[in-house]
């Protein structure tokens, strides 16, 4: 009887995994000729992937509960004397981080005086600034030493919300293109002259 109890979930979860893989396969086949595909195919792919997720949820949860897969949300157990010891970096580590931040700033200022293409320059500056922000959040703001639960609550939320702002940029391009068209026509400034 006990053996049957062990075998049954394994068998059922196996079937579900096969179904999920089949749904992913159909999605992949549809995506194969995505170049000529339209919105309908996109819809089909999304539905297939949704089905795959639905099939896969149960086996994944089962594996998670039985500790068969990596559990990102569970920290290592805290040591008995754990909580009031000084978490976080030593003064030496903080000094190194400070030096790294200064060095990155120096690189940014140096790049400012290289006559780079604006887009390239902007990408490098934003990249360096993101690295600096990461260092500040991780070490100075002690994010690296918090619980994983907390990190997963704060960081992805903020990043997703920041990415949503990017929705505005196509509109900015449209605005500029429209201005480019109208600048051939008399503008207020040229009329005043």
Q: Using the rule CB under 8 A, which residue among 17, 22, 60, 121 binds other proteins?
A: 121
Our finding on whether 125 is near other proteins (CB under 8 A) is yes
7-15, 23-31, 51-59, 87-95 -> range binding other proteins (CB under 8 A) = 87-95
> The tokens 């978490």 sit on which residue?
87
Our finding on whether 184 is near other proteins (CB under 8 A) is no
Which lies closer to other proteins via its Cβ, residue 46 or residue 94? 94
Our finding on whether 91 is near other proteins (CB under 8 A) is yes
**Shortest separation between residue 129's beta carbon and other proteins, angstroms:** 5
Closest C-alpha to 150, from 72, 70, 61? 72
148-177: contacts with other proteins (CB under 8 A): 149-150, 153-154, 157-158, 161-162, 165, 168-169, 171-173, 175-176
Give the Cα-Cα-Cα angle 76, 53, 23 (nearest 5 degrees).
Answer: 135
In angstroms and rounded to an integer, the radius of gyration of the C-alpha atoms of the chain is 27
Q: How many helices (H) and strands (E) does the chain have?
A: 7, 0
Distance of CA 179 to the CA centre of its chain: 34
Kindly list the distances between the CA atom of residue 46 and the CA atoms of 20, 22, 23, 95, in Å, as whole numbers in the listed order.
Answer: 13, 14, 10, 49
Q: Using the rule CB under 8 A, which residue among 1, 11, 35, 118 binds other proteins?
A: 118
112: which residues sit within 8 A by CB, 6+ positions away?
121
Tell which phi-psi region holds residue 88, choosing left (phi > 0), alpha (psi between -120 and 50) or beta. left
Which lies closer to other proteins via its Cβ, residue 41 or residue 146? 146
Residues within the interface to other proteins (CB under 8 A): 73-75, 77-80, 82-83, 86, 88, 91, 94-95, 98, 101-102, 105, 108-109, 111-113, 115, 118, 121-122, 125-126, 128-129, 132-133, 136-137, 140-142, 146-147, 149-150, 153-154, 157-158, 161-162, 165, 168-169, 171-173, 175-176, 179-180, 183, 189
């Amino acid at each position: 009887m006990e053996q049957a109890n062990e075998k049954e979930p394994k068998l059922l979860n196996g079937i579900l995994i096969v179904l999920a893989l089949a749904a992913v396969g159909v999605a992949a086949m549809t995506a194969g000729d995505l170049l000529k595909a339209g919105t309908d195919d996109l819809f089909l792919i999304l539905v297939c992937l949704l089905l795959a997720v639905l099939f896969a949820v149960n086996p994944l949860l089962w594996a998670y509960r039985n500790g068969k897969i990596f559990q990102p949300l569970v920290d290592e157990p805290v040591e008995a004397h754990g909580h009031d010891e000084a978490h976080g970096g030593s003064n030496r580590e903080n000094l190194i981080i400070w030096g790294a931040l200064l060095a990155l700033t120096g690189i940014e200022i140096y790049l400012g005086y290289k006559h780079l293409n604006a887009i390239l320059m902007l990408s490098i500056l934003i990249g360096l600034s993101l690295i600096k922000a990461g260092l500040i959040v991780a070490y100075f703001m002690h994010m690296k030493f918090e619980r994983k639960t907390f990190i997963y609550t704060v960081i992805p939320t903020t990043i997703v919300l920041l990415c949503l702002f990017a929705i505005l940029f196509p509109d900015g391009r449209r605005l500029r293109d429209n201005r480019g068209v109208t600048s051939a026509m008399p503008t207020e400034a040229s009329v005043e002259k």
